[in-house]
């Protein structure tokens, strides 16, 4: 059957055999006797082939959605790997009598990702500079291997397999259940501030200053702006607010895009107008402070269900890199210049600085520096040429690309960016495979 990742289109769709186990024991058995190569599938919120296994088997973890234990005193949560972060927010992350709450220590830009997927891509959020990656808060997990064994992993038990599985792209086995440490916060409401900036260097000053006092930071960049305005945008920062409880967002999106239009509705003149208008939304005061729920700050895109369909049947590509601090300003400037020159703007251009808290994972993506995320409707060769140009700038800067967002990086780029690859390889499960792993040569010969 056909399985699609979030980017859609032919580049993010695969024919697979799918197993949807109803229990962790059935999942263990399914993983041990797939009859083909095998890979876990979380909730398909990766953009490309990292969650697909063309011609092989996918163990679809969406039914592994039970909570096992939650200790209100310590904030330790044990759940099955298919539990979504949205379920944890809805059931557990609520203000108590003190106004405070247990909250997700780290969350990506959508809450519709599974715990297993968050571990396997070692996801990051807007608080990377304070809390590092999701994997730093994973206390332990049970991992099924294709020989039928279940291995308990933690920083002290099977520690090497623990480090390989965090950020291990699903290639070390199937996470059945995990224990994560939630974070105690003063309140679930957020104090948030948006600040307009006119040039790229202002972004770096704002980030350096805000990282001291704000938990969450990220900026939207107008990637069609050129010349003196190159890199202009809106810097957003937020922190939890004591005593101001905020209910969890609804599990269903408010609006849903019901069908995929025949052509992409994203791009062209509409995008240019959107970017110019959006940048001016703060024109009078240049900054705006609010107190409210966390949904608009963390998950603005989740309010529109199936927004990826707007890119039409060809789908879209996401690009995300990280480049080291010393060369970040220059490299990001070159990338924004390349995007502006190509005329293929991105609506969702997000720029953030990562801090230097190390990830536990051997292959984790985040490292200290600046990270830029962009998306482009698939226009064929011209889009691939732009992605290749952005990849070249990243590699020249000593940076790397994020597998969770990728569909095009070369084997050389992956090998050069991920120094831990040799240490990772012995932990790969002999039956595991993904489109991504084959393409970049983690297993078998690299695709040409
Ligand atoms: C709108 C949007 C915003 C996003 N923002 C961010 C962001 O801010 N930061 C960020 O880091 N990412 C971000 N992402 C990417 C997303 O967080 C990751 O791709 C995440 O891993 C997806 O989780 P999933 O459950 O959908 O897993 P899938 O995409 O289905 O799978 C991801 C990987 O996890 C593996 N996997 C899944 N379940 C298991 C399991 N039980 N055992 C072992 N391996 C498993 C798969 O094999 C695959 O390699 C965003 C994605 C979207 C769509």
Sign of CA dihedral 235, 8, 46, 324: negative
Q: What is the mean pLDDT of residues 146-160?
A: 98
Q: What is the mean pLDDT of residues 241-270?
A: 70
CA distance 272 to 172: 44
Give, as one character, the DSSP assignment of residue 411: H
Between the alpha carbon of residue 354 and those of residues 118, 199, 380, the distances in Å are 17, 20, 32
Q: What angle do CA 265, 269, 271 make, to 5 degrees?
A: 60
Q: Which residue has the higher pLDDT, 346 or 147?
A: 147
- Parallel, antiparallel, or unpaired for β 183-185 and 174-181? unpaired
Q: What is the mean pLDDT of residues 284-296?
A: 82
Separation of CA 403 and ligand 1 centre (Å): 10
Query: Across the beta sheet with 316-323, what order do the strands follow?
Result: 287-292, 190-197, 233-240, 216-221, 350-354, 369-377, 316-323, 400-401
CA distance 209 to 189: 22
Q: Give the model's pLDDT for residue 109.
A: 96
- Spatial contact of 247 and 348, defined as CB atoms under 8 Å apart: no
Q: Which of 8, 114, 161, 301 to mutate to test the pocket of ligand 1 (most atoms within 8 A of CB)?
A: 114
Sign of CA dihedral 28, 159, 140, 369: negative
Q: Give the model's pLDDT for residue 351.
A: 97
Q: Which atom of ligand 1 is nearest to the CA of 175?
A: 42
Residues 309-342: pLDDT tens digits? 888 889 999 999 999 999 999 999 999 999 989 9
Q: Please name the residue that has the structure tokens 């440490």.
A: 181
Catalogue all structural domains in the chain, each as residue range(s) with its CATH number: 2-62+426-440 (no CATH), 67-185 (3.30.465.10), 190-410 (3.30.70.2520)
The yes-or-no verdict on residue 269 having pLDDT over 60 is: no
- Spatial contact of 122 and 135, defined as CB atoms under 8 Å apart: yes
Ligand 1 neighbours, Cβ below 6 Å, are 6, 39-46, 50-51, 61, 81, 108-110, 113-114, 116-118, 120-121, 123-125, 169-170, 174-175, 301, 404, 434
CA distance 225 to 223: 6
Residues 351-383: pLDDT tens digits? 999 999 999 999 999 999 999 999 999 999 999
User: What percent of the chain has a predicted confidence (pLDDT) above 90?
Assistant: 76
Q: Give the model's pLDDT for residue 127.
A: 98
- The number of angstroms, rounded, from the C-alpha of 181 to the middle of its chain's C-alpha atoms is 19
How would residue 346 be classed by pLDDT, with cut points 50, 70 and 90?
Answer: confident
Q: What is the mean pLDDT of residues 244-270?
A: 68
Separation of CA 365 and ligand 1 centre (Å): 13
**pTM of the predicted model, to two decimals?**
0.96
The yes-or-no verdict on residue 446 having pLDDT over 80 is: no
The yes-or-no verdict on residue 239 having pLDDT over 80 is: yes
Q: Which of 5, 16, 84, 109 to mutate to test the pocket of ligand 1 (most atoms within 8 A of CB)?
A: 109
The yes-or-no verdict on residue 7 having pLDDT over 60 is: yes
CA distance 284 to 288: 10
Strand partners, 191: 239, 291
Residues 208-221: pLDDT tens digits? 999 889 999 999 99
For residue 378, give the 3-state DSSP assignment.
coil
């Amino acid at each position: 059957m056909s399985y699609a990742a979030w980017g859609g289109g032919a580049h993010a769709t695969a024919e697979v055999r799918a197993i949807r186990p109803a229990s962790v024991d059935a999942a263990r058995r399914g993983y041990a006797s797939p009859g083909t190569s095998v890979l876990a599938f979380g909730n398909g919120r990766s953009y490309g082939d990292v969650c697909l296994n063309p011609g092989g088997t996918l163990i679809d973890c969406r039914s592994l959605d039970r909570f096992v234990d939650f200790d209100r005193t310590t904030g330790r949560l044990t759940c099955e790997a298919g539990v979504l972060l949205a379920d944890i927010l809805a059931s557990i992350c609520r203000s108590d009598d003190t106004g405070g709450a247990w909250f997700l220590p780290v969350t990506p830009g959508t809450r519709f990702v599974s715990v297993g997927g968050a571990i396997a891509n070692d996801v990051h959020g807007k608080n990377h500079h304070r809390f590092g990656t999701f994997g730093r808060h994973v206390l332990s997990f049970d991992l099924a291997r294709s020989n039928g064994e279940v291995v308990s992993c933690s920083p002290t038990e099977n520690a090497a397999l623990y480090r390989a599985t965090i950020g291990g792209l699903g290639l070390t086995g199937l996470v059945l259940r995990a224990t994560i440490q939630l974070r105690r916060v003063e309140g679930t409401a957020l104090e948030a501030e948006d600040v307009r900036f006119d040039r790229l260097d202002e972004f770096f000053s704002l980030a350096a200053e805000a990282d001291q006092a704000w938990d969450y930071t990220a900026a939207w960049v107008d990637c069609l702006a050129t010349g003196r305005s190159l890199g202009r945008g809106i810097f957003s920062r937020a922190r939890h607010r004591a005593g101001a409880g905020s209910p969890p967002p609804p599990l269903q999106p408010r609006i849903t895009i019901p069908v995929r239009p025949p052509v992409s509705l994203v791009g062209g003149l509409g995008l240019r107008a959107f970017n110019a208008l959006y940048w001016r939304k703060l024109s009078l005061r240049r900054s705006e402070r609010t107190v409210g729920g966390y949904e608009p700050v963390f998950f603005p895109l989740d309010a529109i269900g199936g927004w990826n369909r707007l890119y039409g049947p060809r789908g879209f590509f996401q690009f995300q890199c990280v480049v080291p601090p010393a060369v970040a300003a220059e490299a990001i400037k070159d990338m924004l210049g390349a995007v502006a020159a190509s005329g293929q703007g991105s609506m969702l251009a997000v720029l953030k600085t990562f801090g230097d808290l190390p990830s536990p994972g051997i292959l984790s993506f985040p490292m200290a520096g600046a990270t830029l995320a962009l998306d482009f409707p698939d226009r064929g060769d011209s889009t691939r040429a732009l992605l290749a140009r952005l990849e070249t700038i990243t590699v020249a800067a000593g940076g790397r690309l994020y597998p969770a967002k990728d569909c095009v990086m070369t084997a050389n780029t992956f090998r050069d960016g991920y120094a831990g690859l040799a240490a990772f390889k012995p932990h790969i499960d002999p039956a595991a495979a993904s489109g991504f792993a084959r393409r970049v040569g983690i297993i078998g010969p690299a695709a040409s």
